[in-house]
Amino acid sequence: MQDVTRETITFCNTAAQTALPMRQLGSFLPGEGVGGAGVHWNGATWRWMEWDHEPLKRTKDKYGTSLIAADMQLQDWGVPYSELEPYYEKFELSCGTSGRAGNLRGKKIAGGNIFEGPRRREYPKVALQDQYTAIAIALMESYPCPANPK
């Protein structure tokens, strides 16, 4: 934490004011939350997909080696999803992550992300209500588009 009695910053509310040193910090705390991740975190905690852990292996399995250029630096992460899943779960339990599982022990469940890696358990907290924007987008997508005029 910055000690403003020894090293401070100046501040003014308008360009017409004289900038004065801050002697006491309030909501603006320089040096607090270094890196910004915890300060600016928006509460989204996605698990990596299974593919994210093994992009080289899965690309070869699905498309063969011909699509991978010789100078392409594609490699597997080194730890498969199945090994990290218990740690994902532990984190979600500790921070109270909410949602709806879409892949519970390999069974695809409507209403959740069916493309996610398999979970051993449902989310610790129930899914939040959809916001109006998400509902509006879903409604718009359910209406058929008119044919393009020729």
Q: What is the mean pLDDT of residues 107-126?
A: 93
pLDDT of residue 137: 75
pLDDT of residue 150: 47
Non-local (6+) Cβ contacts of 123 within 8 A are 92, 97, 98, 99, 100, 101
pLDDT digits (tens, 9 = 90+) for 98-114: 999 999 999 999 989 89
| Residue 150 to residue 24: CA distance in whole angstroms | 68
3-state SS class at 105:
coil
pLDDT at 83 over 90: yes
- Domain-wise residue ranges, the chain: 1-41, 45-142
pLDDT at 52 over 50: yes
